[in-house]
A and B are shown apart, each in its own frame.
Chain A
Amino acid sequence: CLGYDGVINRGAVIDERKAAQVKIGLPAPQVLALLGTPSTTSTIGGDAWYYFSQRIERELAFLPPEVADQHILAVYFDKSKKVQRIADYGLKDGKVIDFISRTTPTAGAEFNFVRNMLAKLTSF
Chain B
Amino acid sequence: QDIVVVGNARGDSDVIRSYFSGTSPEEIEKGLEALRNSGRFANVSASREKGRVVIHVSETNLINRVVFEGNSKVKTDTLTSEVRTRAHGSFNQTVVQQDIARLLEIYKRSGRAAAKITYRTVQLPNGRIDVVFTVEEGDKTGVKEIKFVGNTVFSTGRLVDLMETTEMNFLSFIKTSDVYDPDRIASDLELVRRFYLKNGYADFHVVSSDAVFDPGQGGYVITVVVEEGPQYRVSNVDIESHLPDIDPASLQPYLRLSAGDVYNGDAVEKTVESLTREIAKKGYAFSQARPRGERNPAAQTVAIRFVVDEGPRVYIERINIRGNTRTRDYVIRREFEIGEGDAYNRVLIDRAERRLNGLGFFKKVRVTNEPGSAADRVVVNVDVEDQATGNFGVSGGYSTTEGFIGEVSVSESNFLGRGQATRLSVQAGQRARGVSFSFTEPYFLDQRFSAGFDLFAKKSDAYNYSYYSTTSIGGTLRFGVPITEEISFSPRYSIYNTTISIPNDSNRPYNDCQTPLPGYTPGFGYIFAPTPADLNILYNCQSNGEASLAIKESQGSRLTSLIGYTLSYNSLDNFRNPKNGIHSQLSQDIAGLGGNSRYVRTTGDLRYFHEIPYVDDVVGIARVQGGNMFALGDYQFRVMDNFNLGPTLVRGFAPGGLGPRDISNWTSSRGNSLGGTNYIGGSLEVQFPIWGLPKDIGLRGALFADAGTLWGYKGATNFSSKLYGVTLPCVYPYSAPTYGQGTCIVVSGDAAQIRSSVGASALWQSPLGPIRFDYAVVLSKAYGDITQRFRFSGGTNF
Contact = CB atoms under 8 A, between A and B. Distances in A.
Contact of A113 (B278, B416, B449): B416
B341 A39 contact: yes
Interface residues of A, number: 28
B277 interface: yes
A10 B342 contact: yes
B313 interface: yes
Closest 5 CB pairs of A and B: A62-B449, A37-B374, A62-B481, A61-B482, A4-B484
B74 to A, nearest CB: 23
Interface string B293-328: 000000000000000000001010000000000100
A91 interface: no
A5 B281 CA distance: 8
A72 B484 CA distance: 32
A13 B447 contact: no
Q: For B326, B338, B445, B484, which residue has the most chain A Cβ atoms within 10 angstroms?
A: B484
A42 interface: no
B519 to A, nearest CB: 51
A63 interface: yes
A65 B53 CA distance: 77
B593 interface: no
B639 to A, nearest CB: 39
B376 interface: yes
Of A3, A9, A12, A113, chain B has the most CB atoms within 10 Å of the CB of A9
B449 to A, nearest CB: 4
B286 interface: yes
A12 B315 contact: yes
B339 interface: yes
Interface string A1-44: 01111011111110000000000000000000000110110000
Given A2-B484, A2-B487, A113-B416, A120 B392 contact: yes
A60 to B, nearest CB: 6
B692 interface: no
B447 A63 contact: yes
B197 interface: no
A13 B415 contact: no
Contact of B326 (A7, A36, A39, A116): A116
Contact of B285 (A9, A60, A111): A9
B390 A13 contact: no
A110 B482 CA distance: 33
Main secondary structure of the interface of B (DSSP, over half): loop
A99 interface: no
Interface in A39-65: 39-40, 52, 60-64
Interface string B255-290: 000000000000000000000011011011110000
Nearest to B280: A9
Interface string B331-372: 000000111011100000000000000000000000000000
A60 B374 CA distance: 36
Contact of B342 (A11, A36, A37, A113): A11
B388 interface: yes
A115 B209 CA distance: 50
B537 interface: no
Nearest to A56: B337
B281 A62 contact: no
Interface in B397-419: 412, 415-417
Interface in A65-124: 111, 113, 116-117, 120-121, 124
Interface in B481-529: 481-485, 487
A116 B376 contact: no
Contacts of B343: 9, 13
26 contacts: A5-B278, A9-B280, A9-B281, A9-B285, A10-B338, A13-B285, A13-B343, A36-B313, A37-B315, A37-B374, A37-B375, A39-B341, A60-B481, A61-B448, A61-B482, A62-B482, A63-B447, A64-B447, A111-B326, A111-B417, A113-B416, A116-B326, A116-B390, A117-B390, A120-B390, A121-B392
Given A36-B313, A37-B315, A111 B376 contact: no
A35 to B, nearest CB: 10
B337 to A, nearest CB: 6
Contact of A4 (B285, B342, B374, B483): B483
Interface of A: 2-5, 7-13, 36-37, 39-40, 52, 60-64, 111, 113, 116-117, 120-121, 124
A60 B447 CA distance: 11
Contacts of A9: 280-281, 283, 285, 342-343
B338 A37 contact: no
Given A8-B338, A39-B341, A62-B447, 11 more contacts: A5-B277, A5-B278, A9-B342, A13-B283, A37-B315, A37-B374, A40-B341, A61-B482, A111-B417, A120-B388, A121-B392
A8 B416 contact: no
B65 interface: no
B450 to A, nearest CB: 9
B377 interface: yes
A27 B449 CA distance: 49
A38 B486 CA distance: 39
A69 to B, nearest CB: 11
A28 B485 CA distance: 45
A108 to B, nearest CB: 12
Nearest to B339: A10
A3 B343 CA distance: 23
A64 B286 CA distance: 26
A4 B257 CA distance: 21
Contacts of A36: 313, 315, 376
Nearest to B325: A111
Contacts of A8: 337-338
Contacts of B315: 12, 36-37, 39
Nearest to A121: B392
Contact of A10 (B286, B341, B375, B415): B341
A13 B388 CA distance: 41
Nearest to A52: B341
Nearest to B313: A36
A121 B417 CA distance: 18
B422 to A, nearest CB: 10
Among A5, A52, A117, the one with the most B-chain Cβ atoms within 10 Å of its Cβ is A5
Nearest to B487: A2
Nearest to A7: B281
A109 B315 CA distance: 35
A117 B416 CA distance: 10
Contacts of B487: 2
Nearest to B422: A113
Interface in B375-405: 375-377, 388, 390, 392
B313 to A, nearest CB: 6
Contact of B341 (A4, A11, A60): A11
B408 to A, nearest CB: 13
A92 B266 CA distance: 45
B392 A2 contact: no
Interface string B408-450: 0000100111000000000000000000000000000101110
A2 B791 CA distance: 43
Contacts of A64: 445, 447
Contact of B448 (A10, A62, A120, A124): A62
B378 to A, nearest CB: 11
A63 B448 CA distance: 8
A37 B416 CA distance: 39
Contacts of A62: 447-449, 481-483
A117 B415 CA distance: 11
A27 to B, nearest CB: 18
Contacts of B286: 13
Contacts of A111: 326, 416-417
Contacts of A121: 392
Contacts of B341: 10-12, 39-40, 52
Nearest to A65: B447
Nearest to B348: A8
B339 A60 contact: no
Contacts of A37: 315, 374-377
